Structure 1
Amino acid sequence: MVAKIKKPEEDCVDVLNLVLEERVKFKGFYKRIALDLSARYVLYDYQKGCPSGMPPLVLRDYVDSDAEVESRKKSLIGLYNPKEGKYPYNELEKLRKKNKLLACPVCGEPGRPRTLDHCLPKTTYPEFAINLLNLVPACDWCQGEKLADYKSAAGSRSFIHPYFDDVNRPLYAINLEQPYLTPVISLEIRKDLPLELQALVTSHLEGIDFWERFKEYFESSYQSIIRIASAARSGGRITVTEAIQSSYLLAAEKGVNCWDAVLYRSILDDADVLGFLENGKLSEFP
């Protein structure tokens, strides 16, 4: 969207404990690590998913030999793929298939996201493989672009965290330059955001390859706006501005940073583009 969304309803530590109770294989390992895992889940929530000062657990501290480390890491990661009827199968399915989102909260692309992204990657932080607060609904593209990237050079998060960050406000705008019938566009991060948030939004959008994706989307979406303007002008009942404002309000219901909302808002904020849509020569449509 990019958007802040509600945290999972289930308590993350409770779900973790249910998972651990089912462990049969490597039961000694899980018994040793259980308390520290619970503490780490609490710390994750307290630090809002920021890796700074929260390095991955050293798994060697919970096993008897170096040879065991890799297999225990695989076991932790494997908790993310439970069989049906085992914890946390239902909890993960709920996040994937019943999240009720109308746009990806990571990028804003319209459509319900059907995959989950590990904000701190499970390959680096296997202890958070099933931490529900570390699992965010995302579109396939975002998950593929982000992969195992997660932190800045300073050690803090390089991506917006949809459960924690205050991002339910306009974050960026699209600037349109002539010719307005087929405009050249550029991206601008909002200057009214706190500087720290501006930097986070910048690194986030770069990390998910937002701009290349949005430019492709813009080409077809802007033609829809031309059609809206043409219909408003020929109908005569409402102005082009009123028509676009109405479309914006509908789009913003999905999130103020969903792609449609960003595009409509950017046009509404640009008097020159609105002037063209109100009075300029538009394409002819059948």
Structure 2
Amino acid sequence: MVAKIPKPDEDSVVILNLVLAERVKFMKFYGRISPDLTARYQLYDAQKGCPSAMPPLVLRDYVDTDAQAVSRKTTLIGLYKPAVDKYPFNELDKLRTKNKLLACPLCGELGRPRTLDHCLPKTVYPEFAINLLNLVPACDWCQGEKLVDYKNSDGFRNFLHPYYDEVNRPLYVIKLKKPYLTPIIDFEIMDDLPAELKRLVASHLDGINFWERFKEYFETSYQDIIRIASDTRAAGVRTVVDTLEGAYALQAEKGVNTWDAVVYRSLLVDPDVMNFLQCGVLSEFP
């Protein structure tokens, strides 16, 4: 959600073909489904991961019995857990452990994400279990919260896709209400977002249980900001505005929607809060 990130370096269709070439079991099944898998991977990219006009493949069309269809679904999902000497072990490991990200691209919490989220769930779309474009590095929280909540009632995706959506811009702002020493907070999605992006941001935030997680984080973060404001005023060298602007600039380099960047930006655009931090009584931190 928080950032658009580069697509995987490897071509998903090339990796798919390498995977299928290695498999010796169920060759009849793979021979039947291979052309349609390739076409589906290309369609996924063209559709930017949106499930509309892209229903799951009917596996019964590629086997001889209903029982085989159930078994081959398990087979396709099982490709996501290859042996270390098989494709796509190295490609998946690279996405998990060598993604070079500083924050989760789905929520913005700092820390390198170490799990992979299937944007279209593999339980519904087993054909995309190893589609690299369907696999996004994510934190444990997002991977667990999102689960299979992937589309709305109209069939369009219910989440932001870090490989496709233009989200490297402020998406939401935190609003503080008095008393500013221990404020009540709420958040608002930015009014200047295009309508479809605004819809996606709202459904995405809800799907990853963003607000409950962020509120807990904000409580600790804001107490640190009170301390920073108190120390800045005591030093008398610069204003609180200057200090927070410098802090925001550093955090925004990691992503404009990382949690610290959102906190600093939200405070800086609120003149009443900034007046409190610069001139108000910070009684808990004299």
Question: So what's the TM-score if we normalise by structure 2?
Answer: 0.98
Partner Cα distance (2:6, 2:67) in 1: 41
Q: 2:163 aligns to what?
A: 163
> 1:117 touches 1:138 (CA, 8 Å); kept in 2?
yes
Shift of 1:285: 4.1
3-state SS of paired residue (2:206): helix
> Is residue 232 from structure 1 mapped to residue 232 from structure 2 by the alignment?
yes
User: After superposition, what is the alpha-carbon deviation per residue over 1:137-161, rounded to whole angstroms, capped at 9, x for unaligned?
Assistant: 0010101111111001110010000
Partner Cα distance (1:284, 1:155) in 2: 51
Q: 2:29 aligns to what?
A: 29
> Is residue 246 from structure 1 mapped to residue 246 from structure 2 by the alignment?
yes
Shift of 1:197: 1.0
3-state SS of paired residue (2:266): helix
1:133-148 alignment runs, 5 A limit: 133-148=133-148
Q: 1:174 aligns to what?
A: 174
Q: 1:54 aligns to what?
A: 54
User: After superposition, what is the alpha-carbon deviation per residue over 1:244-286, rounded to whole angstroms, capped at 9, x for unaligned?
Assistant: 0011011111110010000100000000000000000114449
Shift of 1:165: 0.3
Shift of 1:69: 0.6
> Is residue 69 from structure 1 mapped to residue 69 from structure 2 by the alignment?
yes
3-state SS of paired residue (1:7): coil
Shift of 1:130: 0.2
Q: 2:190 aligns to what?
A: 190
- Which runs of 5 or more residues in structure 1 are unaligned? none
Q: 1:277 aligns to what?
A: 277
Partner Cα distance (1:171, 1:131) in 2: 28
Partner Cα distance (2:238, 2:151) in 1: 48
User: After superposition, what is the alpha-carbon deviation per residue over 1:86-119, rounded to whole angstroms, capped at 9, x for unaligned?
Assistant: 1000000000001111110001111111000000
Percent identity reads 71
Partner Cα distance (1:239, 1:203) in 2: 38
3-state SS of paired residue (1:69): helix
User: After superposition, what is the alpha-carbon deviation per residue over 1:162-192, rounded to whole angstroms, capped at 9, x for unaligned?
Assistant: 0000000000000001000000000100001
Q: 1:203 aligns to what?
A: 203
- Which runs of 5 or more residues in structure 2 are unaligned? none
> 1:226 touches 1:283 (CA, 8 Å); kept in 2?
no
Partner Cα distance (1:245, 1:229) in 2: 12
3-state SS of paired residue (1:181): coil
- The amino acid of 2:272's aligned partner reads D
Partner Cα distance (1:98, 1:249) in 2: 26
Give the ranges of 4+ consecutive aligned residues of structure 1 lying more than 4 Å apart after TM superposition.
Answer: none
> Over aligned residues, Cα RMSD in angstroms?
0.9
